[in-house]
Structure 1
């Protein structure tokens, strides 16, 4: 075989192979590579977008948490103020009730003192009458001396 003819035949076969590859094999491979590069760039862009949205969402969450903490603090302070108000009102009511009870007890004690004095006056008057009866050794008419006994009661 002739080496020049072999080299020429191989060059023609290589040229046909290059033409076939450029015409039928290379375009689908290039298209697949371009599509893959496009998907990767879209994925990176959406990842960046998601990252920025996450940062915005984190800031919003922090702001809402801060606002919630502030509201909770305000509510706690308000509840403490209400509790103090309720306690003060309860103390005032208890003081008023205690004053009423003390006043009622004093009035009742005064009434009992008056009753005891009346009872004591009646007993003293009865003892005075009995003593007078024994002194005089006769019965004293209580109807006749009622005025005298009433004056004696008021003096005691």
Structure 2
């Protein structure tokens, strides 16, 4: 009986310990495990959400970068076209200016040629008068013979 009483005492102590553990020890442990499981699940969900947001943000950034590249290329092309048109415009103005300068130089050369011809005509007329005077040995009056001298100028 001694064995039965010890066994029975051990069973009673075991049941009391089991009851105490289930009543006071086990609930905080299960509560802590459940809380930990909830936090891990929330962390995993947050990580998945963050990955999705990161992927979305990366797509937005790539789209913005592509748009910025396109905008930069468009602006560069516009600037090149503007520069080309400015160069062409400057060339056109330079050609016009050169044509004006050439025309002015030609006109000036023509006027100088006309003036030189007039001066030469005057000199030739004067020489002709002097030659005729020397030949005739008399003085020719330019005022009297003005019409004759102007006809002579026009013929020369």
Structure 2, unmatched stretches of 5+, are: none
Alpha-carbon distance in structure 1 between the residues aligned to 2:123 and 2:16: 153
1:15-94 matches, within 5 Å, as: 15-94=15-94
1:107 counterpart residue number: 107
Q: Secondary structure at the match of 1:141?
A: coil
**Superposition TM-score, scaled by structure 2 size:** 0.85
Alpha-carbon distance in structure 1 between the residues aligned to 2:117 and 2:144: 24
Structure 1, unmatched stretches of 5+, are: none
1:13 counterpart residue number: 13
Alpha-carbon distance in structure 2 between the residues aligned to 1:86 and 1:50: 52
- Larger mean CA deviation between 59-68 and 47-56 belongs to 59-68
Cα deviation for residue 138 of structure 1 reads: 4.1
